[in-house]
Structure 1
Amino acid sequence: MAHTAGNTKIGFIGLGIMGDPMARNLLKAGYDVTAYTLETEKVEQFAKDGGKGASSIAEAVEDADVVITMVPASPQVEAVVLHEGGVLENIREGGLIIDMSSITPQTSIEVAAAAKAKGVRALDAPVSGGEAGAIEAVLSIMVGGEQEDFDAAKPILEALGKTIVLCGPAGSGQTVKAANQLIVAVNIEAVAEAVVFLKKSGVDLNAALDVLNGGLAGSTVLTRKKDSILAGDYQPGFKIDLHHKDMGIVTDAARAVGAAVPAGALVAQLVASLRAQGDGGLDHSALVRSVKRLSGENPDGAN
């Protein structure tokens, strides 16, 4: 049976930059949502705005038909889902876990196996689109799991995104997300290098980026990030810290299957370097700052 707004209770774990707007979009779609996160004030605000708040994972999960987790990385997913007091210990038999975090494919496979052993269904469903995509409910959602479970979950996912694709069995969603993060990181680095090159060449940067974005060099990255890059505004829609974690997943997963990712490996090092320089809390478009430093520019100077 499809999990539509009229017949489904959702437990939502993780009200971060992405999770909070996603949980709110489920409310807007008419779902009954009970949320839990470590920051009590976020839970309280969610409840004030029409949702329900929980003081523990158990409370968020106990009456839920579906549990969505949106946390930073594999260790948090393991803690939230697999450990004592977690989702699997409290969700009802036959319930569905949709993990929308970006984690290693292997962790998703382990979660799916543990869920199956307890009579619980599981999907890995990481997303792409950043904070703006989460707010606007236009995320791209890459799903791993069984067709029947995907079909049941699709109405929920349609409240969160526009491109929703079952990519294969458990772990497949995370593998595709790793590829997504590879493409995004290399794209941002290319944009960053072009920005610094154009600026040092004395070209009208705004005009140059407009015309580039109208041709084959155009990209969602350039469309989404152009104005903030020009303004030197790196408020995080997706933090360097998180992209650093994702590039580790990409390089490890590629090594495991024998795939060469030379450009990805280089950009992974540039992301790590930027993080080491104290910029881990900034948006991943802050790779511009790294290229500025390498080019002898003040990273805090105007673009």
Structure 2
Amino acid sequence: MHVQKIGFIGLGIMGKPMASRLIQSDYPVFLYSRSGVPDELIAGGGHGCCSAVEVAEKADIVILMLPDTADVEKVLFADNGVAVGLTATQSTESSIRKIVVDMSSISPSDTCHFASCIAELGHDYADAPVSGGQIGAQQGTLTIMVGAAQAVFEKIYPILTRMGQHITHIGKPGSGQVCKMANQIVVTGTLTAVAEALVFGSKAGICVKNIRQALMGGFAASRILDVHGERMINRNFEPGFRIDLQVKDLDIALTCAAELGVSLPNTALTQSLYQACIAQGDQLLDNSAIVRILEKISNHEITTQTHAEV
């Protein structure tokens, strides 16, 4: 049986553990990052490449995990990009039809354009953005939202299962990115609500640990309250998903909404709060650090102490 060779481009907070899981699953993995391939991935069995062209030439399936739309476009279509490698392969081995899988979170409309360009080269394209953050990437528990033709989805599904647990075929190329923006609308709205609740309870003199514990037993319970509520209480803002990337996603969501004529008032307000986080220098912190701007507005930092203990 032919073992699919995988290319992985983008080895940051998310990409590095995702690529590592593929290497551990005994796939041949060809790696490239503009900042260099981490030594531990090479030591684990990965194959370092000097360019995106080389990755595209050697791999059957090329995965991208990059920060923004412009980064994806550059890696795909620059002079040393993936498209050049695909074209070189097509000219020498016309029977090979490769697949580009973009797991970044980028513009849905640009994704459709990229997919069309790759199709013109005789290859397939899927967008498969993820949710679950760094922990999900490390544990292989990511939620993956796939936009692809059905046949392409079936080909990449076994590989996606090595990185995620909840994998859904949303529809045609571009639809995965629409679903990811819907995810971000819910996530950021909930993050803001959790932060507001904790600041409110703390300023009233109640132990926020007790508040979180109580809320986890009712309809307010959520993954956000569980994981990010704990981060806020413990002041752990090491980035699982950075604030600047969260703002990027909200910008995309609001741009798409404007194109569709859809009003997203809560999302617009949340975006303004995250912009304020960036203004106070928190752009590289975890997105749960939105609590810091609400604390500043309220002139109160959340505490586990009660009025009786103060």
- TM-score with structure 2 setting the length: 0.92
Match of 2:8 among 12, 17, 35: 12
CA contact (8 A) 1:47 1:53 kept: yes
Residue-by-residue CA offset, 1:130-186 (whole Å, 9 max, x unaligned): 011111111111111201000100000111111111111111000010010111000
- RMSD over aligned Cα atoms: 1.4
After TM superposition, give the deviation of residue 18 of structure 1 in Å: 0.5
Match of 1:47 among 34, 42, 53: 42
The one-letter code sitting in structure 2 at the alignment partner of 1:43 is P
After TM superposition, give the deviation of residue 81 of structure 1 in Å: 0.7
The one-letter code sitting in structure 1 at the alignment partner of 2:190 is N
CA contact (8 A) 1:35 1:43 kept: no
Instruction: Give the Cα–Cα distance (whole angstroms) in 1 for the partners of residues 21 and 296 of structure 2.
Output: 40
Matches within 5 A, 1:150-165: 150-165=153-168
Instruction: Give the Cα–Cα distance (whole angstroms) in 1 for the partners of residues 18 and 163 of structure 2.
Output: 6
After TM superposition, give the deviation of residue 226 of structure 1 in Å: 2.8
Matches within 5 A, 1:213-224: 213-224=216-227
1:259 aligns with 2:254: no
The one-letter code sitting in structure 2 at the alignment partner of 1:70 is M
After TM superposition, give the deviation of residue 50 of structure 1 in Å: 2.0
Percent identity over the alignment is 39
After TM superposition, give the deviation of residue 225 of structure 1 in Å: 1.6
Instruction: Give the Cα–Cα distance (whole angstroms) in 2 for the partners of residues 34 and 224 of structure 1.
Output: 33
Residue-by-residue CA offset, 1:86-133 (whole Å, 9 max, x unaligned): 111102341000000000001110110000000010000000000111
After TM superposition, give the deviation of residue 250 of structure 1 in Å: 0.7
CA contact (8 A) 2:195 2:229 kept: no
SS in 2 for 1:184: helix
The one-letter code sitting in structure 2 at the alignment partner of 1:9 is K
Instruction: Give the Cα–Cα distance (whole angstroms) in 2 for the partners of residues 236 and 87 of structure 1.
Output: 29
SS in 2 for 1:226: helix
The one-letter code sitting in structure 1 at the alignment partner of 2:116 is A
Consecutive unaligned residues of structure 1, counting only runs of 5 or more, are none
SS in 2 for 1:167: strand
Match of 1:284 among 284, 287, 292: 287
CA contact (8 A) 1:82 1:111 kept: no
**Residue matched to 2:32:** 36
The one-letter code sitting in structure 1 at the alignment partner of 2:84 is E
Matches within 5 A, 1:151-230: 151-230=154-233
CA contact (8 A) 2:194 2:229 kept: no
Residue-by-residue CA offset, 1:207-266 (whole Å, 9 max, x unaligned): 110110121101111122233211111000000000000000010111111111110111
After TM superposition, give the deviation of residue 302 of structure 1 in Å: 5.1
Runs (4+) off by over 4 Å: none
CA contact (8 A) 2:53 2:83 kept: no
CA contact (8 A) 2:118 2:124 kept: yes
CA contact (8 A) 2:215 2:221 kept: yes
The one-letter code sitting in structure 2 at the alignment partner of 1:64 is A
**Residue matched to 2:85:** 90
- TM-score with structure 1 setting the length: 0.95
Instruction: Give the Cα–Cα distance (whole angstroms) in 1 for the partners of residues 56 and 121 of structure 2.
Output: 15
Instruction: Give the Cα–Cα distance (whole angstroms) in 1 for the partners of residues 228 and 43 of structure 2.
Output: 32
Instruction: Give the Cα–Cα distance (whole angstroms) in 2 for the partners of residues 235 and 64 of structure 1.
Output: 34
Q: Larger Rg: 1 or 2?
A: 2
The one-letter code sitting in structure 2 at the alignment partner of 1:71 is L
CA contact (8 A) 1:213 1:223 kept: yes
**Residue matched to 1:140:** 143
CA contact (8 A) 2:30 2:58 kept: no
SS in 1 for 2:31: strand
Consecutive unaligned residues of structure 2, counting only runs of 5 or more, are 91-96, 305-310
After TM superposition, give the deviation of residue 297 of structure 1 in Å: 2.5
Aligned length: 296
CA contact (8 A) 1:36 1:43 kept: no
After TM superposition, give the deviation of residue 61 of structure 1 in Å: 2.2
**Residue matched to 2:248:** 245
Instruction: Give the Cα–Cα distance (whole angstroms) in 1 for the partners of residues 44 and 278 of structure 2.
Output: 35
